Structure 1
Amino acid sequence: MKLGLRGKILLPALGVVAVVTAITTALNYKLNHDTIESNVREEVSMVAELVAHELEVWLDDRVGDVRGWASIHEYVPAVTEGDEAAAGEFREVAERVVEERDVYLSINLINAEGDYVATSDRGSEGISVKDRGYFRRAMAGETVISEVITDRATGKPAFVVAAPVREDGEIVGVVSGVVDLEQFSEVNVESIKLFDSGYVYIVESNGRVIAHPNHEHVLKMNYRSKFDWGEELLTTKKGYLIYELDGLDKMAGVAHVKATGWIVGATAPLDELLAGASRLGNINIALGVGSLVSIALIVTFILRRTLRPLDEGVAFSRRIAAGDLTADMPVRSDDEIGQLAQAMNTMARGLRDAIGRIA
């Protein structure tokens, strides 16, 4: 196809503009995408860190409670001598705490043989826990937070905080509190929603889920054994990871709880997290197309005004060629095109004069 002068000027100009616009749009999209992704990483990581911090504070409170009860000297005769008055005093306090504070499922006083001598759950008195790991560690002098278990009375996820009872520096028993983990989960895990479908969860250091908005996962799913990315989750001390779950690419902020080794994850699908980047990308494309169309219109307008005298010159030349020597070409400017118009008018007058002399 043979191009006219307009096409020869317009097409290369638009080609250059299109390339520049495409490069600018791509660079803007990349910059915006990277900025939004960085902000999203910080946001999910911050949520995980905040929940982990709240959990650490909550655990510290539980440890403080149990240590406080274990340090009350009046309870010592209950574990050393089987003193019923001391046991009754402990039992009364334990029952009141369990009733007034929904965080404890039971509070127990245990003698050196591992037998409950007083408890808020009267039906459990006499039960032996001598083979439990938390009891042996507490008798060795540690304040212990056990692994998460299913409470036999309520079916809730729970864990035991145990601290040694001392008399004259010698460990003579243990106080334990069975803590309702679901109480923390309801407030600080299940109530948090990230974007449209994101959520927070907590897993133990072995990968077992101990808190999750979907209760069917709690104490039944193990991320380490079930998913390829489970090991990476457990070894990411702080920050984020990207993984696939149920066919969706997801990003999770990760934070560790120092006291227990538990891991808090704050996760959401990537397409939700980066929806802002996609919207900005579409806006950039629309702006690029709009700019290209605007520039095309402006260039076309300029070319039309610039080339209009040439069109008039062509029409003028054709009239002269057809024998119409009365034609005049409008002179619209003083530039080169205006000078060309003046020269063509001079030529036409010269032709008229020459023909007049011949006639």
Structure 2
Amino acid sequence: MNRFKSLRKKLITCTVAIIVLTALLNLAVGVYSSYQGITQDVRDDLRSIGETAQVAIGSSLDKMKADIQTVAISDEIGKPGVGRAELLNTLKKQKSAHGYQSLSLVAADGTVVSEDARLDGKNIADQEYFKKAMNGETYLSPTMYDSAKELCVIACAPVTNSNGYRGAVLATYDPLVYRNIIKNIVIGKTGNVFIMDKSGAVIADVQEASVKARKLAEVSRLKLVKSGQSGVTTYRYGTGDRICYYAPVKNTDGWSIGVVAPIAEMTSSIWFSVFGLIGSSALCIAAGVFLSIAVAKSIVDPIRKCVGRIVLLSTGDLTSPVPAVKAEDETRTLAEATGTVLGRLRRVIEEISGALNRMANGDLTVVPSDHFAKDFAPIKSSLDTIIATFNRDLNQINASAKQVSAGSEQVSAGAQSLAQGSSEQAGTIEELSSTIDTISEKIHG
């Protein structure tokens, strides 16, 4: 603060700095609050969408299980005495009715009977889905490769009809069957819903390539997503950070659903708030600068005038007028105080000058007035002392003069007596000289 040589600059600089800092702080708080509010809304929306998607996925999976179970309980399956051609025809009809890619009957030893030549005759006794079916469980697989090395989704259920057949029915779906469940769920422009299996491979996604390649989901790297819990998290992606709602898919083998939205896209509306806040902050700063200049001028100008008048006073000028201040604040008080100081100094100096002039003219009856108040009192005391001392010294001089005058008269009288004695002595001498002359003549005569 000491580096400022101008009060006006100091006031303007400090005021503008406070305004700018306040505006920037408000801008930062506003942007942060808006960002947090928007991201929280996105989190809530993703959670709602995810919960809705879970219901849709659960319903679709239940329907898929119900369809394969319907086939499994059909009396046409495993019917005793039915030839191969008739069985294949039955499987073909059921396949068409339920929209399968293929439908097969699997014996208890794992041998496949299918109208699909790629699968017919294969043995799948070692496959997990077949083992589970033989244990009485209806199984839906993630995307996987069948025994013919084709990517698909497998549904397998134990035969439970009244024929007493021991085996299972095996259906394969298009690998994009799960994608069809979630493809119409829209999350902004680039957000999406996906399903991944327990290994983290994508089994349902808007992008077909991700499903067909069994691409590992980026979010699968997060252990929390695999923990079977639900929540909202953020993770890094090639095109930018994303927000993801994750939750387990019920009645599956460790599957998870994710609802993803790019943070940049979801928070893009914040820029309207940011630009609005920047604009309002700029206006506030501009208004603050203008007002600070005006206020600084209203404060500094009267002070500057008063300082100028005091400088004139320091050079001995007691007659120049005090600057007028129209304001009703302390600057007016300063101007009035300056005028009061000048008035009192003027009266004191006039009092001293008048007293000295009267004393110079021989008037020693001067009595100082009451203008010498407080710290001016010593001046009045000094004047009183000077006048009293001067009177005393003049009285002493007057008395001495009278004494000198009386001594002079005495000296004058003595001088006159001495002169008279001298005259008488001169006459006596003349008579004595005449007598001597007479005696001398007589002696010589």
State TM-score, norm by structure 2: 0.62
- Deviation of 1:294 after TM superposition, in Å, equals 1.9
- Go from structure 1 to structure 2 and tell me whether the alpha carbon gap of 1:67 and 1:329 turns closer, same or farther (over 3 Å shift): same
Higher strand share: 1
The 1:331–1:305 alpha-carbon spacing in structure 2 relative to 1, beyond 3 Å, is: closer
Q: Which residue of 2 aligns with 1:235?
A: 227
8 Å CA contact 1:134–1:146 kept in 2: the answer is yes
Letter in 2 for 1:173: G
Per-residue deviation at 1:217?
Answer: 3.4
Task: Please name the residue that 1:90 is paired with.
Answer: 90
1:110·1:174 contact (CA, 8 Å) conserved in 2? yes
User: After superposition, what is the alpha-carbon deviation per residue over 1:53-73, rounded to whole angstroms, capped at 9, x for unaligned?
Assistant: 322211111111111122223
Deviation of 1:263 (Å)? 1.9
Structure 1 residue aligned with 2:12: 10
Matched, 1:294 2:287: yes
Please give the secondary structure, in 2, of the residue aligned with 1:207: coil
Cα deviation, residue 308, structure 1: 4.3
- Structure 1 residues 25, 124: closer, same or farther in 2, change over 3 A? closer
Provide the identity percentage.
21
1:182 CA displacement: 0.8
Return the letter of the residue paired with 1:112.
A
Question: Post-superposition shift, 1:3?
Answer: 2.9
- Write the letter of the residue equivalent to 1:179: Y
Q: What are the within-5 Å matches in structure 2 for residues 1-359 of structure 1? A: 1-77=3-79, 80-83=80-83, 87=87, 90-91=90-91, 93-97=93-97, 101=99, 104-117=100-113, 119=115, 121=116, 125-150=120-145, 157-167=151-161, 172-186=166-180, 188-189=182-183, 192=185, 194-218=187-211, 220-221=213-214, 223=216, 229=221, 231-235=223-227, 237-246=229-238, 248-260=240-252, 261-277=254-270, 280-281=273-274, 283-310=276-303, 329-330=323-324, 332-333=326-327, 337-338=331-332
Against the structure 1 CA distance between its residues 278 and 336, is the aligned structure 2 distance closer, same or farther, given a 3 Å change threshold? closer
CA change 1:86–1:160 in 2 (3 A) is same
SS in 2 for 1:223: coil
1:170–1:87 Cα change, 3 Å? closer
2: CA distance between counterparts of 1:42 and 1:13?
43
Q: Which moved more, 1:13-22 or 1:60-69?
A: 13-22
**CA offsets per residue over residues 214-262 of structure 1, 9 Å max, x none?**
44433545538x9992544423631233333337433322122122222
Structure 1 residue runs without a partner (length 5+): 355-359
How much does 1:74 deviate?
4.0
Conservation of the 8 A alpha-carbon contact between 1:319 and 1:325: no
CA RMSD of aligned residues (A): 4.3
Q: Is the 8 A contact 1:329 1:344 kept in 2?
A: no
For residues 204 and 127 of structure 1, the distance between their equivalents in structure 2, rounded to whole angstroms, comes to 26
Report the alpha carbon displacement of residue 32 of structure 1 after superposing the two structures with TM: 2.7
Q: Deviations 1:326-358 (Å, cap 9, x if unpaired)? A: 86854535555446656777969x98xx9xxxx
**Cα deviations across residues 180-226 of structure 1 (Å, max 9, x unaligned)?**
2414414624x5554454333322101222233444433545538x9
In structure 2, what is the Cα distance between the partners aligned to 1:25 and 1:218?
44
For residues 4 and 326 of structure 1, do their structure 2 counterparts lie closer, same or farther at Cα, with a shift above 3 Å needed? closer
Separation of aligned partners in 1, 2:280 and 2:241: 29
Matched letter for residue 132 of structure 2: R
CA contact (8 A) 2:152 2:172 kept: yes
Q: Which has the larger radius of gyration?
A: 2
Q: Is the contact between residue 108 and residue 177 of structure 1 (CA under 8 Å) also seen in structure 2?
A: yes
Larger displacement relative to structure 2 (56-65 or 265-274):
265-274
Contact 1:141-1:171 within 8 A present in 2 as well: no
| Structure 2: runs of 5+ lacking an equivalent | 351-445
Amino acid at match of 1:94: Q
CA 1:180–1:216 in structure 2 vs 1: closer, same or farther (change >3 Å)? Answer: closer
Q: 1:333 to 1:277 in 2, by over 3 A?
A: closer
Q: TM-score, normalised by structure 1?
A: 0.74
SS in 2 for 1:109: strand
- Mean alpha-carbon deviation: is it higher for 12-21 or for 159-168? 12-21
* SS of the residue 1:175 aligns to: strand
